[in-house]
């Protein structure tokens, strides 16, 4: 299996790095933004609202989400492009913290490997 992105684990929180370039979110180990892998987030990707505005992503709908607190909220859903190595895909984004959801991870990868002893995380396909 090919490793498509490597990340780290700090204080038991797994993450990948990325950066925003125009309308694209680009995953890169040297990226200046840390996106937390959130196994409790069923969705795509959450980014701060001001980042979504700067990216100029297309608003496609509103949907209802249950937050970690149990609160149910209605949030805008945006469509955008993600680049990982030589692979490009479209996914949906919502406003929030810098989070990667399980739907996105399962759409682009086959296996998420957390090595707690080494403090590393890998996504393979």
User: For the residues of 50-94, what is the DSSP string, one character each?
Assistant: HHHHHHTPEEEEEEEEE-TTS-EEEEEEEEEEEEETTEEEEEEEE
Please state which of the four CATH numbers 1.10.357, 3.40.50, 1.10.20, 2.40.70 is assigned to the domain occupying 3-124. Answer: 2.40.70
pTM of the prediction?
A: 0.93
- One digit per residue, the tens of pLDDT, for the chain of length 125 reads 898 999 999 999 999 999 999 999 999 999 999 999 999 898 899 999 999 999 999 899 999 988 888 899 999 999 999 999 888 999 999 999 999 999 999 999 999 999 999 999 999 98
Give the span between the Cα atoms of 34 and 16, in whole angstroms. 6
Structure tokens at 30: 């040297």
């Amino acid at each position: 299996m090919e490793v498509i992105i490597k990340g780290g684990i700090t204080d038991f929180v797994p993450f990948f790095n990325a950066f925003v370039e125009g309308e694209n979110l680009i995953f890169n180990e040297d990226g200046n933004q840390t996106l937390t892998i959130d196994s409790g987030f069923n969705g795509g990707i959450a980014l701060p609202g001001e980042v979504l505005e700067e990216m100029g992503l297309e608003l496609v709908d509103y949907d209802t989400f249950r937050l970690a607190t149990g609160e149910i909220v209605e949030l805008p859903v945006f469509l955008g492009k993600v680049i990982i190595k030589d692979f490009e895909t479209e996914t949906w984004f919502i406003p929030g913290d810098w989070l990667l959801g399980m739907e996105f991870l399962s759409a682009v990868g086959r296996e998420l490997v957390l090595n707690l002893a080494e403090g590393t995380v890998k996504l393979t396909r």
